[in-house]
Amino acid sequence: MSAARHESTGPARLPFPEIDADAEPVAQRMAARRGGELSSLDKLLLHSPPVADGWNELLGALRHKSSLAADLRELAILRVAVLNNAAFEWVAHKEAARRAGVTDAQIDALYDMDPNQHFDYRQNLVLELADTSTFGVEIPDLLFQQVRAEFSEREIVELMVTIGGYAMVSRFLVALQVPPPEGEVASVDGSAG
């Protein structure tokens, strides 16, 4: 299974909108989170300024205000990208995962349907949670009990919203056939956004 299999080589299914007076303040907030530039994802979201604004706030909170360890967050995001064949999401987050301490062997293992031999216990719980949530939505009691024993309530909430939030991102990207960026999508702290 490879996220790169479904990458678009042409333009996205929708054109970038004109940034009018309603969209301008939202575009500025999005660009501020991106270190000054809008990604193609951001530009497409500006077809609906209220949605773009909420999206920016949610994803910004997940990336920059979460208590979840960076390696766990990025593993969850990359696993969702693989499961949903979201090449843009994969490219946008692979370097952030490396900076968070995820090894190349671990990154490669995310393509395995059973990657657990490459990860520690907490990382494996995150991957199992991402798989279970992506494939079946419902989390079995046993898995939830294991997660509850390892993570704080805040971390559980942030983990579930990260998995669900990046599932939303991947579905948007894949449905609109947004081509992957040349590399990582910038964020104010230099990490992927």
b/e 156-190 (16+ beta carbons within 10 angstroms → b): bebbbebbbbbbebbebbbebbbbbbeebbbbeee
Q: Tens digits of per-residue pLDDT, 27-56?
A: 999 999 888 889 999 999 999 999 999 999
**For a pLDDT cut of 70, what percent of the chain falls above it?**
89
What residues in the chain have per-residue pLDDT under 70? 1-9, 115, 183-193
Q: How far apart (Å, rounded) are the C-alpha atoms in residues 185 and 39?
A: 7
| pTM for the structure as a whole | 0.88
Of residues 74, 90, 64, the one with CA closest to residue 7 = 90
pLDDT of residue 184: 58
For each of the domains in the chain, give its residue range(s) and CATH number, in order of start. 23-64 (no CATH), 67-176 (1.20.1290.10)
Burial 52-71 (b: 16+ CB within 10 A, else e): bbebbeebbebbeebebbbb
